[in-house]
């Protein structure tokens, strides 16, 4: 049987506010355990929440960016359940009246087209703390770190509009680009700044009714998300083809061990006893506030792709990559500013730079080579100071901290030799030492001689320690070979 | 000294008739000798009280300090006090020492008032008799075999027994007014949002409001002046100028329209209490007030609506008491669930557990619409009743509670009978209106109270009418016997 996959996502996005959603404690990542939890975060008796206006603005900016309906009023509710890292015994969240209503995000599809993914809504809520079940506490104890408790989140809920893992990942990347472009999220997935819950079901191709779905929670990398979907789809199809049925359940996927397991079934689900939080007033959104935010909205990824293509005439594929991350796009634009060849700048940024960063597990912000230096390096290729091959050496030098581009070129004597007299001599010397190669060249029929040039070029470049200008060498070599042909023919 | 009004005490302090230290020592001595009989005060902060009295004396010597500078007061043990145990009358918080002050406590400290200690209360303010306190019941100073009312029974009894010049209290369904009535003192529940709830341990957040209990309406005016403030730490606090409550105390009440709701004079009201209430109304009519018969047709729905909304909010508010971060934790839990179950079963008393269960039930899937949503709709109807009434009248008056103080244990095994104690007071909390109770005479030797209900943020009218009544009558000066 042919199966069709239906995927919906719920995405938790940590908002990049300086303080928590209901308290003045810092949201900085990585502080000593419980050093960033104040009396409110600890749910001490008598403490009360005060809503962080910046968090509301960030949520509204997201709403504006996805062209969403934004209701005039939204309401916080209490979601009641007991867990040690949930200090109040309820999570303050939104249910019936979320801050952002229905919207849409357009993604590029594999066939080169586009597809609109509907956003059901996005709501504001607080994050819980962390429970630590291993470590120095012995098997008898669990430890609680409440630094994260109260960190503002928006939870974005899509309609089940995604059809496969690739689309889901494309959408996830697009969303990442969107929230980082807006500056409402730092986008650091390894730190949990974006977490994906994936709802997956399958149904016979052409069927109108949805199959029973499972939810795999808390996927914090695109790769794990893709793997989890692929595996879950395969599992569901196996179960159904064996005549079984899918049990609605919440699942966990361990990206390191590649093992997925059931966390709880529908029957074990809590009755959360939601009701409006009486400590917080309904949030009333004025048109003036929306207009102020709309006016200040930064460039969004789609607009950025279009602008990069237009202004720099770079390939669409490169523009997509560069525009996916506002910092990367800014980096590229700085590189382009320092050289005359934007296409080469795009190639180097998406190729060499990203490759090295990924290879060494570094963030762009941690790059040992800054955009200005990369721009200068590319300019040195353009102005023929160095060859592309030499440029890689210089790149390595800057990367390892040996100095700046021009300094390294000078100190290492990498400047390309373009003096034609010197190059004429060099080529002549190499030809003189290799009569057998010349014979071979001459014996080759004319249409195929081009292939034989590589051998001469290699020897010449080696003799010049790589410094010879390859284009020039190529011309001189052809000229000298030609004159040899003529002299022999005479 | 202990019978003097706050204004008189202020004069005494300023004229150096006595110092704040002397006044504080005087009240501390009274607490030491009399409190064992009443159990109204559960924490005495002698050392810090004397230190702050001396600081206030210093201020007074420099000619500084306002109306409350040097005046010794007691705080209900629901208000968090920095470095002083704040139990909320519960075993759950018997070991809880807050690292912060409630805004109300801060306001009093800023005014130079002296905190003598903390008053007893029904556990988590849930009760109308003070019988649910972990620290044992408060005895009514008028008759120690009777309850003082609740939940602010400790504050009301302490003022009645003159253990402090005044006391703070809170009112979720009548917890200031009913004990004030039963102990023969004056108490005011302000408009919801008038006084900050920061640092006040929540029972039902949409209903809780702090206010004063004192010997007179005039004292209440001075205390409210200090308590009322906009507080950015409480999102439900209202940013609105606080009027000068003393300035209008003596305004004439001639022509003031007093609405008398017929629903507050029906079956269940003790005829002697009714007679006492009518005496006060007659006195006000003599002063020129106009009595107008009105109707609050949805009054009968207030107790049922309240006993859905208040427990629902409480069930979530009390979830934080889980034994994880502070408060009572059971010994040797075998696992997380065992820790939750036993910590909460041991830490909470029966009435608190009952209300958590009621509230959880009302919010449960399948019951929410029938209970919580319906109760919120009823709340709107009740609010609308008052809005309609205040189109006709300036204030509304009637009994504070149906009968005088009852004997201990009289309603112990009948929660519904206990809940009906607040039948006349609950509607104002549901509507968010200000309400006040002042003494209106004795019934078989026990005090009865008359209630005044005002329009939103019109505490000044309540204080004005109550003060004029107290100028014309002496009921508020009656004192329990055997005190001096």
CB atoms under 10 Å from CB of A383, counted, come to 11
Query: What value does the mean pLDDT of chain A take?
Result: 91
The proportion of chain A whose per-residue pLDDT surpasses 70, expressed as a percent, equals 98
Q: Which two tokens stand for residue A76?
A: 């916080």
Residue of chain B whose Cα is closest to the Cα of A274 = B363
Q: Does A49 touch chain B (CB under 8 A)?
A: yes
**pLDDT number for residue A151:** 97
Query: Please, what is the angle between helix B271-286 and helix B459-472, to 10°?
Result: 90
φ, ψ of residue B395 in degrees (nearest 5): -140, 170
For residue A34, cis peptide bond before it (omega within 30 degrees of 0):
no
CA distances in angstroms from B450 to A181, A199, A329, B405, listed in the order given: 64, 61, 73, 14
Query: Please, what is the angle between helix B217-227 and helix B103-110, to 10°?
Result: 110
Are the beta carbons of A125 and A153 closer than 8 angstroms? yes
pLDDT higher than 70, residue A490: no
The mean pLDDT of A232-250, rounded to a whole number, is: 94
In sequence order, the 6+-apart residues with CB closer than 8 A to the CB of A290 are A60, A64, A70
Q: Does A480 touch chain B (CB under 8 A)?
A: no
pLDDT digits (tens, 9 = 90+) for A105-134: 999 888 888 999 999 999 999 999 998 876
pLDDT digits (tens, 9 = 90+) for B249-292: 999 999 999 999 999 998 789 999 999 999 999 999 999 999 99
Question: What CATH topology corresponds to A420-489?
Answer: Arc Repressor Mutant, subunit A (1.10.10)
φ, ψ of residue B368 in degrees (nearest 5): -55, -50
Catalytic position from the list B19, B76, B91, B461: B76
User: Is the Cβ pair B316, A89 closer than 8 Å?
Assistant: yes
**pLDDT number for residue A451:** 80
With a cut of 0.90, is the ipTM above it? Answer: yes
pTM, two decimals, is 0.89
Catalytic position from the list B175, B216, B280, B315: B175
In sequence order, the 6+-apart residues with CB closer than 8 A to the CB of A2 are A204, A205
When comparing pLDDT for B476 and A458, which is higher?
Answer: B476
**pLDDT number for residue A255:** 85
Q: Does A50 touch chain B (CB under 8 A)?
A: yes
Residue of chain B whose Cα is closest to the Cα of A275 = B363
Q: What angle do CA B54, B60, B63 make, to 5 degrees?
A: 155
Edge to edge, the sheet with strand B72-76 lists B41-44, B114-119, B72-76, B166-171, B209-214, B186-189, B435-443, B446-453, B395-399, B257-261, B290-294
Q: Which two tokens stand for residue B126?
A: 């849930």
Give yes or no: B343 in active site: no
φ, ψ of residue A453 in degrees (nearest 5): -65, -35
Q: DSSP secondary structure string, B129-198? A: SSTT-TT-PPPBTTBTTB---SSTHHHHHHHHTTSSSEEEEEESSSTTHHHHHHHT-EEEEPPTTSB--T
Per-10-residue mean pLDDT of chain B, 484 residues long, equals 96 97 98 97 98 97 95 98 98 98 98 98 97 97 96 98 98 98 98 98 98 98 98 97 98 98 91 97 98 97 97 98 96 94 98 97 94 97 98 98 94 82 94 98 96 98 98 96 76
User: Is the Cβ pair B320, A82 closer than 8 Å?
Assistant: no
Query: Please, what is the angle between helix B302-317 and helix B374-389, to 10°?
Result: 120
Name the residue ranges covered by the structural domains of chain B. Answer: 6-256+459-477
Task: Find the CB nearest A89 among B96, B204, B322.
Answer: B322
Chain B residues with beta carbon closer than 8 angstroms to that of A82: 319, 322, 340
Q: Which two tokens stand for residue A141?
A: 């104890």
Chain B residues with beta carbon closer than 8 angstroms to that of A43: 320, 325
User: Is the Cβ pair B205, A278 closer than 8 Å?
Assistant: yes
Q: If we measure between CA atoms, which residue out of A50, A53, A156 comes closest to residue A102?
A: A156
* End-to-end CA separation in angstroms for chain B: 12
Q: DSSP secondary structure string, A275-339? A: EE-TTSPPEEPPHHHHHHHHHTPPPPHHHHHHHHHHHH---HHHHHHHHTSHHHHHHHHHHHHTS
Residue of B230, B235, B312, B338 for testing the chain A interface, max A β-carbons within 10 Å: B235
pLDDT digits (tens, 9 = 90+) for A418-452: 777 888 888 888 888 888 888 888 888 877 888 88
Catalytic position from the list B129, B151, B155, B216: B151
Interface of A with B in 270-309 (CB under 8 A): 271, 273-275, 278-281
Q: Does A144 touch chain B (CB under 8 A)?
A: yes
User: Is the Cβ pair A271, B96 closer than 8 Å?
Assistant: no
**pLDDT number for residue A421:** 80
Residue of B312, B316, B334, B372 for testing the chain A interface, max A β-carbons within 10 Å: B316
Task: Find the CB nearest A87 among B320, B364, B372.
Answer: B320
Query: What region, left, alpha or beta, does residue A243 occupy, with left being phi > 0 and alpha being psi -120 to 50 degrees?
Result: left
CA A6 – CA A364 distance, rounded (Å): 35
Give yes or no: B360 in active site: no
**pLDDT number for residue A142:** 83
CA A93 – CA A103 distance, rounded (Å): 20
Min CA distance, B162 vs chain A (Å)?
A: 28
**pLDDT number for residue A484:** 81
Chain B residues with beta carbon closer than 8 angstroms to that of A80: 315-316, 319, 360, 363
Are the beta carbons of B210 and B195 closer than 8 angstroms? yes
φ, ψ of residue A254 in degrees (nearest 5): -95, 110
CA B289 – CA B469 distance, rounded (Å): 11
Are the beta carbons of B108 and B115 closer than 8 angstroms? yes
Residue of chain A whose Cα is closest to the Cα of B102 = A46
Q: What angle do CA A303, A308, A309 make, to 5 degrees?
A: 100
The mean pLDDT of A27-54, rounded to a whole number, is: 96
Helix, strand, or coil (residue A188): coil
User: Is the Cβ pair A274, B364 closer than 8 Å?
Assistant: no
Burial of A3 (0-12, 13-18, 19+ CB in 10 A): middle
User: Is the Cβ pair A278, B99 closer than 8 Å?
Assistant: no
Number of Cβ pairs closer than 8 Å across A and B? Answer: 103
Query: Please, what is the angle between helix B350-363 and helix B302-317, to 10°?
Result: 100
CA B126 – CA B128 distance, rounded (Å): 7
Task: Find the CB nearest B99 among A39, A84, A89.
Answer: A39
Give yes or no: B196 in active site: no
CA A460 – CA A450 distance, rounded (Å): 16
Min CA distance, B352 vs chain A (Å)?
A: 16
pLDDT higher than 80, residue A99: yes
Min CA distance, B233 vs chain A (Å)?
A: 6
Task: Find the CB nearest B198 among A48, A80, A281.
Answer: A48
Within 13 A of A339's CA, how many CA atoms are on the CB side?
Answer: 30
Locate the DSSP E strands across B262-377: 290-294
pLDDT higher than 60, residue A287: yes
Name the residue ranges covered by the structural domains of chain A. Answer: 3-292, 299-411, 420-489
Which stretches of A97-244 are DSSP H helices?
165-182, 222-241
Are the beta carbons of A91 and A128 closer than 8 angstroms? yes
pLDDT higher than 80, residue A268: no
When comparing pLDDT for A103 and A428, which is higher?
Answer: A103
Are the beta carbons of B179 and B482 closer than 8 angstroms? no
pLDDT digits (tens, 9 = 90+) for B107-151: 999 999 999 999 999 999 999 999 999 999 999 999 999 999 999
Residue A462: enclosing H or E segment and its boundaries? Answer: helix A453-463
In words, the CATH class of domain B6-256+459-477 is alpha beta
User: Is the Cβ pair A275, B368 closer than 8 Å?
Assistant: yes
pLDDT digits (tens, 9 = 90+) for A367-403: 999 999 999 999 999 888 888 888 998 999 999 998 9
CA A367 – CA B391 distance, rounded (Å): 71
**pLDDT number for residue B26:** 98
Q: DSSP secondary structure string, B396-452? A: EEEESSSSSPPBTTTTTT-HHHHHGGGTTTHHHHHHT--EEEEEEEEETTEEEEEEE
Interface of A with B in 87-116 (CB under 8 A): 87-90
Confidence label for A489 from pLDDT (cuts 50, 70 and 90): low
Chain B residues with beta carbon closer than 8 angstroms to that of A271: 364-365
Per-residue b/e over B40-70, b at no fewer than 16 CB within 10 Å? bbbbbbeeebbebbbbbbebbeeeebebbbb
**pLDDT number for residue A138:** 65
Q: Does A78 touch chain B (CB under 8 A)?
A: yes
Strand A73-74 versus strand A283-284 pairing type: antiparallel
User: Is the Cβ pair A278, B206 closer than 8 Å?
Assistant: yes
C-alpha of A382 from chain center: 30
Residue of chain A whose Cα is closest to the Cα of B86 = A45
In sequence order, the 6+-apart residues with CB closer than 8 A to the CB of B417 are B411
């Amino acid at each position: 049987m042919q199966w069709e996959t239906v995927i919906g996502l719920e995405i938790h996005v940590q908002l990049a506010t300086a303080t928590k959603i209901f308290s003045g404690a810092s949201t900085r990542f990585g502080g000593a355990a419980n050093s960033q939890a104040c009396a409110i975060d600890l749910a001490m008796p008598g403490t009360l929440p005060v809503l962080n206006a910046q968090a509301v603005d960030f949520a509204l900016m997201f709403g504006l960016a996805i062209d969403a309906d934004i209701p005039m009023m939204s309401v916080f509710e209490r979601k009641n359940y007991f867990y040690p890292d949930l200090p109040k015994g309820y999570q303050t969240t939104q249910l019936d009246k979320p801050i952002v209503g229905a919207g849409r995000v357009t993604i590029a599809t594999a066939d080169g087209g586009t597809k609109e993914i509907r956003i059901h809504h996005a709501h504001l809520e607080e994050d819980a703390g962390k429970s630590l079940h291993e470590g120095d506490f012995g098997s008898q104890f669990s430890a609680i770190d409440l630094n994260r408790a109260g960190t503002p989140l928006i939870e974005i809920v899509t309609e089940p509009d995604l059809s496969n893992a690739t689309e889901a990942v494309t959408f996830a990347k697009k969303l990442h680009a969107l929230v980082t472009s807006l500056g409402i999220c730092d986008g650091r997935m390894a730190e949990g700044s974006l977490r994906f819950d994936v709802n997956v079901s399958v149904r016979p191709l052409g069927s109108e009714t949805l199959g029973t779905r499972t939810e795999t929670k808390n996927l914090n990398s695109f790769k794990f998300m893709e793997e989890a979907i692929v595996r879950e789809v395969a599992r569901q199809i196996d179960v159904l083809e064996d005549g079984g049925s899918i049990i609605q359940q919440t699942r966990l996927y361990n990206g390191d061990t590649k093992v997925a397991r059931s966390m709880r079934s529908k029957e074990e689900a809590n009755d959360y006893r939601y009701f409006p939080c009486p400590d917080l007033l309904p949030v009333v959104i004025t048109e003036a506030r929306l207009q102020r935010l709309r006016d200040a909205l930064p460039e969004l990824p789609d607009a950025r792709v279009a602008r990069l293509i237009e202004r720099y005439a770079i390939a669409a594929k490169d523009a997509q990559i560069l525009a996916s991350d506002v910092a990367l796009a800014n980096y590229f634009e700085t590189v382009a500013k320092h050289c005359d060849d934007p296409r080469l700048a795009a190639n180097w940024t998406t190729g060499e730079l990203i490759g090295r960063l990924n290879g060494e597990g570094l963030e762009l912000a941690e790059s040992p080579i800054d955009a200005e230096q990369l721009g200068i390096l590319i300019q040195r290729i353009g102005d023929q100071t160095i060859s592309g091959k030499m440029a890689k050496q210089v790149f390595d030098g800057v990367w390892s901290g040996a100095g700046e581009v021009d300094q390294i070129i000078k100190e290492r004597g990498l400047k390309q030799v373009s003096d034609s007299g010197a190059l004429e001599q060099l080529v002549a010397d190499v030809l003189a030492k290799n009569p057998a190669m010349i014979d071979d060249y001459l014996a080759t029929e004319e249409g195929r001689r081009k292939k034989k040039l590589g051998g001469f070029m290699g020897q010449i470049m080696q003799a010049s320690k790589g410094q010879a200008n390859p284009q020039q060498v190529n011309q001189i070599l052809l000229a000298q070979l030609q004159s040899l042909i003529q002299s022999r023919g005479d | 000294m202990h019978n003097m009004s706050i204004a008189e005490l202020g004069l005494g302090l300023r004229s150096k008739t006595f110092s704040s230290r002397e006044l504080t020592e005087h009240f501390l001595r009274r607490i030491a000798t009399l409190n064992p009989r009443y159990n109204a005060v559960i924490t005495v902060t002698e050392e810090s009280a004397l230190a702050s009295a001396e600081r206030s004396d210093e201020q007074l010597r420099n000619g500084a300090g306002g109306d409350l500078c040097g005046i010794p007061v007691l705080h209900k043990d629901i208000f968090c006090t920095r470095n002083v145990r704040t139990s909320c009358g519960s075993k759950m918080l018997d070991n809880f020492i807050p690292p912060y002050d409630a805004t109300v406590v801060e306001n009093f400290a800023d005014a130079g008032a002296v905190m003598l200690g903390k008053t007893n209360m029904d556990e988590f303010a849930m009760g109308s008799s003070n019988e649910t306190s972990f620290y044992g019941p408060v005895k009514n100073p008028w008759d120690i075999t009777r309850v003082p009312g609740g939940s602010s029974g400790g504050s009301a009894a302490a003022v009645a027994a003159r253990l402090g010049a005044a006391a703070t209290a809170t009112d979720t369904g009548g917890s200031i007014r009913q004990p004030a009535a039963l102990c023969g003192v004056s108490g005011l529940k302000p408009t919801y949002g008038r006084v900050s709830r920061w640092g006040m341990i929540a029972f039902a957040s949409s209903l809780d409001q702090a206010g004063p209990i004192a010997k007179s309406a005039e004292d209440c005016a001075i205390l409210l002046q200090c308590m009322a403030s906009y507080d950015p730490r409480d999102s439900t606090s209202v940013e609105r100028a606080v009027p000068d409550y003393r300035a209008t105390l003596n305004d004439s009440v001639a022509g003031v329209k007093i609405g008398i709701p017929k629903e507050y004079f029906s079956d269940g009201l003790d005829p002697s209490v009714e007679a006492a209430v009518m005496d006060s109304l007659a006195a006000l009519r003599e002063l020129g007030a106009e009595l107008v018969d009105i109707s609050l047709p949805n009054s009968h729905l207030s107790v049922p609506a309240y006993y859905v909304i208040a427990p629902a909010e409480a069930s979530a508010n009390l979830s934080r008491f889980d034994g994880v971060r502070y408060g009572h934790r059971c010994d040797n839990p075998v696992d997380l669930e065992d820790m939750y179950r036993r910590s909460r079963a041991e830490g909470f008393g029966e009435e608190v557990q009952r209300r958590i269960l009621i509230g959880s039930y009302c919010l449960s899937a399948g019951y929410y619409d029938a209970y919580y949503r319906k109760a919120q709709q009823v709340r709107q109807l009740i609010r609308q009743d008052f809005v309609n009434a205040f189109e006709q009248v300036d204030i509304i008056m009637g009994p504070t509670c149906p009968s005088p103080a009852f004997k201990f244990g009289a309603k112990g095994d009948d929660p519904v009978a206990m809940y009906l104690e607040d039948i006349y007071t609950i509607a104002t909390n549901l509507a968010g209106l200000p309400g006040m109770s002042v003494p209106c005479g004795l019934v078989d030797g026990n005090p009865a109270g008359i209630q005044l209900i005002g329009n939103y943020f019109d505490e000044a009218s309540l204080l004005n009418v109550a003060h004029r009544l107290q100028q014309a009558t002496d009921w508020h000066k009656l004192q329990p016997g055997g005190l001096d």
